[in-house]
């Protein structure tokens, strides 16, 4: 019995040792698995933070792009000094008006306006004052034109006005109202005199090139200048 019991006890110890080894391996595997799970969670959190940064950067980038596009759009169509449409935008609107003219009941007219003796303003007071004068005159244009009329800075102290669906006789009334408004505003210019404008007016003639209409308005402006300025002349 003693020998049998000794063998049984020896077998028991061997099995206990194996069970302990298995338990130790199982505990180690569990600890490793838990550690891996924690490491994976941390990696996921880190990746999530990185993704959040990328999203913020992307949103900021998209906002910058929208603002840049808007700035470029404005700079491409607006005069930076006066805020009026520039020559490029006016040419687009004139071309559109020519395309619509055959279907319109009334023709359109254009007016070329030029500030009289503007050079003396810059020479006597400097370009800063000259710029302020142009801004003020642009404001008066806006206040005295109809909602569907368009005034653009054509270049320097020259402005071009588009009067849609307006025959020459009616356009003459609008142009003279603008001229009178600027004269009555008493904008002080060079040598202490009041600033005035001269306006050349013409009506678009169906079938002609837009360039011909613009040249005719320019001739009308030259006529207004040669006949004493501060007046409207029509060709």
180 is annotated as an active-site residue: no
Q: Of 35, 157, 165, 212, which one is the catalytic site residue?
A: 157
What is the signed CA dihedral for 95, 99, 103, 104, rounded to 10 degrees? Answer: 0
DSSP H helices in the chain: 2-77, 87-100, 118-125, 127-144, 168-184, 210-226
* Strand-pair category, 150-155 with 197-203: unpaired
Query: What's the rounded Cα separation, in Å, for the pair 122 and 190?
Result: 8
Query: What's the rounded Cα separation, in Å, for the pair 165 and 93?
Result: 13
Q: Look-up: residue for tokens 């404008």?
A: 197
Measure the CA angle with vertex 228, ends 224 and 234; round to 5°.
20
Query: What's the rounded Cα separation, in Å, for the pair 119 and 134?
Result: 12
User: Active-site residues: which are they?
Assistant: 157
């Amino acid at each position: 019995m003693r020998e049998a019991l000794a063998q049984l006890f020896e077998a028991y110890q061997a099995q206990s040792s194996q069970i302990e080894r298995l338990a130790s391996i199982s505990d180690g595997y569990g600890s490793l698995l838990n550690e891996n799970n924690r490491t994976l969670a941390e990696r996921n959190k880190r990746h999530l933070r990185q993704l959040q940064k990328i999203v913020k950067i992307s949103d900021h980038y998209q906002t910058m792009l929208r603002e840049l596009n808007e700035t470029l759009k404005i700079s491409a169509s607006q005069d930076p000094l006066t805020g009026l449409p520039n020559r490029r935008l006016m040419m687009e609107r004139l071309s559109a008006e020519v395309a619509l003219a055959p279907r319109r009941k009334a023709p359109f007219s254009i007016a070329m306006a030029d500030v009289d003796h503007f050079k003396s303003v810059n020479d006597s007071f400097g370009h800063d004052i000259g710029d302020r004068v142009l801004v003020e005159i642009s404001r008066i244009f806006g206040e005295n034109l109809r909602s569907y009329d368009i005034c653009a800075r054509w270049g320097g102290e020259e402005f071009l006005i588009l009067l849609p669906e307006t025959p020459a006789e009616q356009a003459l009334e609008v142009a003279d109202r603008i001229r009178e408004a600027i004269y009555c505003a008493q904008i002080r210019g060079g040598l202490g005199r009041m600033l005035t404008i001269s306006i050349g007016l013409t009506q678009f003639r169906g079938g002609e090139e837009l360039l011909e209409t613009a040249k005719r308005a320019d001739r009308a402006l030259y006529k207004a200048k040669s006949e004493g300025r501060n007046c409207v002349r029509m060709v």
